[in-house]
Structure 1
Amino acid sequence: MAPRIKIVEDEEKIARVLQLELEYEGYEVSIDYDGLHAWENIQEETFDLYILDVMLPGLSGMELLRRIRREKQTEPVLMLTARDATVDKVTGLDQGADDYMTKPFDMEELLARIRVLLRRGGAAAGQEEALTFGALTLNVPRREAFRGEDLLDLTPREFDLLHCFLEHPNHVLSREQLLDQVWGFAYAGETNVVDVYVRYLRQKMDKPYEAAYIRTVRGVGYVLKEPVS
């Protein structure tokens, strides 16, 4: 079955070009031109990937993204913005977007990013429901993280970061590897964003407890290891 892609774009010419290109590539495409109508359809249908414009009538692309993630939907989301504004990109990534592109964009690059996101989404769908390591448990479909019996209050980005660590326990991960797997290959910011989010994650996952799981490997990156008793 062809992957289903939802496009939410209020510029009809752009939406139509995207539809024609994606259908030519073999995808099934559904278009909405405003956020409110899109949200109604998203609640009634299932899609494999979302392409959301940031500036939309009714509901903004950011609000749509928040609602999608609030409903525990984990399908990839690619944001489109007409402004090359760092704040839009950072906000979108923090809310759980998987990638972004600035208009005008190169169609071949967009198609390449869609292929990458769909591969990642397919891999995530095939994962076990729960990942465990020591006292840590991740319920992937519900996007819930636990340390012992305690539910950890994680942001979407913190959850994705912990997910990455739990997929590679006892393996040292460089900042570049974490950027690629958690923020996406197209992220153009500084690698110190990894340090910032590792600190956020430690504050919630390690600091309230006697032993820490995440350890720093100086000059390289981080590793998830069983705490030393």
Structure 2
Amino acid sequence: MSEAFHILVVDDDRRIRALLDTYLVTNGYRVTTAANAAEARERMRGVVFDLIVLDVMMPGESGVSFAESLRSARHDVPILMLSARAESADRIKGLAAGSDDYLVKPFEPEELLLRVRNLLRRNGPTAPAIKEAQFGDCIFDMQKGELWRGGEIVRLTGREKELLRHLVQAGGKPVSRAALRGSGQDEAARAVDVQINRLRQKIETDPANPSLLQTVRGEGYVLFLENAE
């Protein structure tokens, strides 16, 4: 399986971050979120994103200022700017700051997805939309968020579904704790460890000695897949 494109969503509205996270992950992308420009910079340390979905109006540093700073530092990551301002002058300002596209709120999720795909197509092949993944005796339905083990459904919390989606999209590569925080940006790194241990209880034969969901020192966690399609 090819590694999915990794998108950074930057928006101060928690509800919008969560919605975009769920929608993009369901459509085959890896997603990390940030509530403001400062958090976005933290997420970008040591991580190369394929696209940034960036809100214009945020407390502190605006999206326009953040985009300008990225371009000044010669970051060439594609930027899709989101704004409630529809006037042509605002669009021009956003594009002049270095964004590659500009989408006015409110928008249809399908339109956002098309804009994302178009921007990513300019930088490489379209990311595969994974529908189902198998690991051990488990099968995980990405779209429904359903986990089956030995032919029986396993009850998952919303957070566990989110973690599994991130890990599956990584395609057998380690995912950092920062990325696994997902839409819960107030969640401490230690809380991620606790959630991972709970998930191991549901997928591992021997949770104390995991073979499927392993810790990679200094990098995060990796889920070893047998098949993903």
Offset from partner CA, 1:122-174 (integer Å, 9 cap, x none): 28xxxxxxxxxxxxxxxxxxxxxxxxxxxxxxxxxxxxxxxxxxxxxxxxxxx
Q: Distance in 2 between matches of 1:121 and 1:9?
A: 24
Partner of 2:55: 53
CA drift of 1:58 comes to: 2.5
Shift in alpha-carbon separation, 1:35–1:10, aligned structure 2, 3 A? same
Greater helix content: 1
Matching residue's letter, 1:98: D
- The count of corresponding residues between Structure 1 and Structure 2 is 123
Shift in alpha-carbon separation, 1:43–1:62, aligned structure 2, 3 A? farther
CA drift of 1:59 comes to: 1.4
Matching residue's letter, 1:76: P
Q: 2:100 aligns with which of 92, 98, 114?
A: 98
CA drift of 1:102 comes to: 0.7
Q: Distance in 1 between matches of 2:22 and 2:84?
A: 21
Q: Distance in 1 between matches of 2:61 and 2:107?
A: 23
Q: Distance in 1 between matches of 2:46 and 2:56?
A: 22
Matching residue's letter, 1:54: V
Asked if the contact 1:39/1:64 (under 8 Å) is kept, the reply is no
SS at match of 2:122: helix
Asked if the contact 1:15/1:31 (under 8 Å) is kept, the reply is yes
SS at match of 1:68: helix
Asked if the contact 2:79/2:101 (under 8 Å) is kept, the reply is yes
CA drift of 1:3 comes to: 0.3
Asked if the contact 1:4/1:29 (under 8 Å) is kept, the reply is yes
Matching residue's letter, 2:106: P
Q: Distance in 2 between matches of 1:66 and 1:33?
A: 18
Q: 1:40 aligns with which of 42, 60, 64?
A: 42
Q: Distance in 2 between matches of 1:122 and 1:36?
A: 28
Structure 2 segments unaligned to the other structure (5+ residues): 126-229
CA drift of 1:40 comes to: 2.6
SS at match of 2:49: coil
Q: Which runs of 4+ in 1 moved over 3 A?
A: none
Structure showing greater relative contact order (alpha-carbon pairs closer than 8 Å, 6 or more residues apart) = 2
Structure 1 segments unaligned to the other structure (5+ residues): 124-229
Q: Distance in 1 between matches of 2:45 and 2:89?
A: 28
Map of 1:8-157 to 2, 5 A cutoff? 8-122=10-124
State the identity %.
Answer: 41
Q: Distance in 1 between matches of 2:21 and 2:43?
A: 17
Q: Distance in 1 between matches of 2:84 and 2:90?
A: 10
Q: RMSD of aligned C-alpha atoms?
A: 1.3
Q: Distance in 2 between matches of 1:71 and 1:3?
A: 22
Q: Distance in 2 between matches of 1:87 and 1:42?
A: 29
SS at match of 2:59: coil
Matching residue's letter, 2:109: M
